[in-house]
Amino acid sequence: MVTREVTVKSATGLHARPATLLVKKASSFKSDITIEHNGKKANVKSLIGVLSLGVSKNSNIVITASGDDETLAVEELAKLIASLDQ
């Protein structure tokens, strides 16, 4: 299991377009991946789950992956979230 804390810098947080990009990227991995925000967890492969967390700008989230490609999954998702601030 690999875990990493990431700060969301996107002006809209993880809503609509950024959440869709995140779900699409997460779905390319075999591992089970979750994000946690304010004590709530969601499967990153579920758009409704990600949107239900209500992640806003400057929020800290924890990405956790468990499976064959867990390290790569966490790295790639953290990179994607960091790139969303543009």
78 phi, psi to nearest 5 deg: -65, -40
Two tokens, residue 37: 């925000």
Give yes or no: 37 in active site.
Answer: no
Classify burial at 46, counting beta carbons within 10 Å of its beta carbon; exposed 0-12, middle 13-18, buried 19 or more.
middle
Q: Which entry of 4, 9, 15, 57 is annotated as an active-site residue? A: 15
Write the single-letter amino acid at 6. Answer: V
29: left (phi over 0), alpha (psi -120 to 50) or beta: beta
Catalytic residue numbers read: 15
